[in-house]
Amino acid sequence: MSVESSSVCARCAAQGTSCCVSVEGVSGPPLTPADIERISTATGRAATEFVVEREVDLIEHLAWEQDDPATRGLVREGRVRSLARRGDECIFLSANGCELGSARPLLCQRFPFMRVNGVIDVKPGGFCLAVDEAADLPQLLTMLGTGRKQLQAIDEQLQRELTK
């Protein structure tokens, strides 16, 4: 994450509304099995300390995959595993932003972006100060310390992890 990215993400977290904060009761970002392993290794915590699992009905499952095709495979046997919340915040959110660094879940790393039919777009829903401040997509990518190739690599890694 770039200095500018750290700055905008820290400012966003400090104001209390960020991608790491949601309406209480809404689950955190979905996790791949490899996400869980990376987080466990990085934090020394057992998965039971940071993972919650919930049922997903077929309508939600299909809508989710239609909205963001890269998520195919996150729902397994009608269930999805996500980062736990402390109230309405991710348990890894601190005053300086995410405590996970490079162990952040893949979907967190690519937020607020999604790719549909090869085109990068901003994912609807959620809050992102950088989205509000950026004049256009290139500036948004720069503010978040990422680029088109990095987002493509994340999507490819996501698909590899979901097809294992």
> What are the tens digits of pLDDT across the range 21-62?
876 656 678 899 999 999 999 999 999 999 999 898 888 888
| 78/118 Cα distance (integer angstroms) | 27
| Model confidence band, residue 86 (pLDDT cutoffs 50, 70, 90) | confident
| Model confidence band, residue 114 (pLDDT cutoffs 50, 70, 90) | confident
Q: Which domain holds residue 139?
A: 3-162
- Which two tokens mark 117? 């039919």
pLDDT at 126: 63
DSSP letters along 104-145, please? Answer: S-HHHHHTTEEEETTEEEEPSSS--HHHHH-SSHHHHHHHTT
Q: What percent of the chain has pLDDT over 70?
A: 91
pLDDT at 60: 83
What's 75's DSSP letter?
S
pLDDT at 106: 93
Q: In this structure, is the dihedral angle defined by the CA atoms of residues 120, 80, 56 and 89, taken in order, positive or negative?
A: negative
Residue pointed to by tokens 């791949």: 32
Number of folded domains in the chain? 1
